[in-house]
A and B are shown apart, each in its own frame.
Chain A
């Protein structure tokens, strides 16, 4: 980790009446990082950002910006700024007036303000003549860029984003995701982004935090969160996944419908499983192979092919195993499996593409 973190949260708790939205959160965000907090609605991610920008007060805990404690500082005195989900552009002002708003508050002279606004319009690929346009006449994507320009005009230490892309259509969202990432690289600012879309998080972020009911489940880079989730929740949140409840005794891994080879490849995994009260074996759909006759893998499952769905570049298969579990398999179009619905198929994968989640099965957690 480089230098000192720009933002530190220590034991931050937020309680609304009887409801605890955040249970004592600790978090370090590095200077210049693109950090994304992901979680389903109600997970507390919006609460965090409201505390960080100063729209709500912490119940207890500390927020530090570099060497300054800011949790008691009112929003207008914090050197941070946020792009709202609704964008919150000022409808009674022109594009230029919107962008210049923070500069006008600092009593910067009009000529300098305008120069900066035009610079920002250019940075965000908006034409100069938009300066005099009314914000209400701009399209969704343009408004997005105006909100960004306004936030950048503020020149914040940290730029917060509260799901700013969620209201846009798919294609525009995709292109703005990439633009945001490149903007982050060009400005070198620290971005803290909130979203419920993992895809969005994966495309843009240096690090991702997964939230669940007011706590962080896992904080790591996209790759690690995808391939080595710490819990079933994270695994399932990160897209399609196949999960098996497994146990292990004397180097032998057992799970319903699952036959596992015994040997050097699966041994470390078996030991790991044996050491837990319960464990889950995870395999992503793209790692599952259709086995030909005579072909073998570390883990094998037999089942009936019950659904084939074309997803464009990929094909999605659903297989019902002998124990009644539904498995999903995904193949690139060029690697497609020539089978029909109703066929009996053998599926397999090797130990190095599987991952063990050290967490008891759901029923045991409840007990």
Chain B
């Protein structure tokens, strides 16, 4: 009976496996193959070489990769710090009001990212909503805060907030109240409760939030283009250019592979680092 069950299980997963293979594994394989094709070819039936990787190293593409990773790291860390109190409130304090916060945050996802970012441009640009009215009423203007690294990080923080907030709230809700109370009863200050009870016990949620936002932010492009006005070029932008204007699929594929391998390694490391079962107390 059990054998039959497991056979049926395998069978019923077939359609999903087929979709995954076609829509996920196959394109990935294609990109991997293109990355070792000679440059400026549009077929995979060529003698493989590593010219694209060499171009990448020679022409300083590592800079955009580093910018992407740096901004993703900065934004993720800022997100963690600003989301923690809000997530704590949602998980432990707000009760029914938590639903209001959830809906408010989710609503922002209903509007396309690009439109929201252009909204910020109109708000912040010289002669925009802030500066324009201020100058109109007081005569004092200021330079637009747009088009620099800081505003790109702000944009990433703004767009990916839900992806940090919800996993964190989930992680915090896993911390048993009585463990927190017991620590306090045993003499822990609020700070000690945070560092020795809350953070380690919410670690799965923290890790998921970090991974999600970091992976998304490292591949983000719209913030740098729209808010940053290409003050710095991010890796995703380079990839897009290589595939489109550059007509250099091999270079685009090589850049993609580097990003995929880096992020993939990080994700696997992160997931291996947290033993969900152990933290959940299922030893």
**Which residue numbers of A lie inside 8 Å of B, CB to CB?**
53-55, 74-77, 81-82, 84, 86, 88-92, 101-102, 105-106, 134, 136-137, 150-151, 154
Contacts and interface: CB of A to CB of B under 8 A. Distances in A.
B283 A137 contact: yes
Contact of A91 (B179, B185, B192, B196): B179
Given A86-B176, A91-B280, A154-B187, 9 more contacts: A55-B185, A74-B184, A76-B187, A82-B182, A88-B179, A91-B179, A92-B278, A102-B186, A105-B192
Q: Identify the interface centre among B185, B192, B282: most chain A CB within 10 Å of its CB.
A: B185
Nearest to A82: B185
A81 B186 contact: yes
Interface in B156-190: 176, 178-179, 181-189
B201 interface: yes
B283 A88 contact: no
A84 B187 contact: no
A92 B176 contact: no
Nearest to A54: B185
Contact of B186 (A86, A91, A105): A105
A86 B178 contact: yes
A136 B281 contact: yes
Contacts of B197: 90
A355 to B, nearest CB: 41
A90 B200 CA distance: 10
B124 to A, nearest CB: 44
Q: Identify the interface centre among A75, A90, A150, A151: most chain B CB within 10 Å of its CB.
A: A90
Contact of A101 (B178, B186, B279, B282): B186
A92 B279 contact: yes
A130 to B, nearest CB: 14
A134 B283 contact: yes
Nearest to B197: A90
A77 B176 CA distance: 22
Given A55-B181, A105-B192, A92 B200 contact: yes
Contacts of A54: 185
| Minimum-distance CB pairs A-B, first 10 | A88-B182, A88-B178, A91-B281, A136-B283, A102-B186, A136-B281, A92-B200, A75-B184, A105-B187, A137-B283
A77 B283 CA distance: 33
A88 B181 CA distance: 8
Interface residues of B, number: 23
Nearest to A151: B186
Contact of B182 (A74, A84, A136): A84
Q: Identify the interface centre among B176, B187, B189: most chain A CB within 10 Å of its CB.
A: B187
A75 B185 contact: yes
Interface in B95-135: none
A74 B178 CA distance: 16
A81 B187 CA distance: 9
Contacts of A53: 185
Nearest to B193: A76
Contact of B189 (A76, A81, A134, A136): A76
A136 B282 contact: yes
Contacts of B184: 55, 74-76
A102 B187 contact: yes
A94 B282 CA distance: 14
B183 A90 contact: yes
B183 to A, nearest CB: 7
A92 B178 contact: no
A86 B177 CA distance: 11
Contacts of B182: 82, 84, 88-90
Interface in B18-64: none
A82 B176 CA distance: 16
A95 to B, nearest CB: 12
B279 A91 contact: yes
A54 B281 CA distance: 27
A101 B200 CA distance: 14
A73 to B, nearest CB: 12
20 contacts: A54-B185, A55-B181, A55-B185, A75-B181, A75-B184, A82-B185, A88-B178, A89-B179, A89-B182, A90-B197, A90-B201, A91-B279, A92-B201, A101-B183, A102-B186, A105-B186, A105-B188, A134-B278, A134-B283, A154-B186
Contacts of A74: 184
B234 to A, nearest CB: 37
Contacts of B281: 91, 136
Contacts of B282: 136
A49 B201 CA distance: 26
Nearest to A153: B186
A49 B192 CA distance: 24
Contacts of A84: 178, 181-182
A88 B188 contact: no
Contacts of A55: 181, 184-185
Contacts of A106: 187
A128 to B, nearest CB: 20
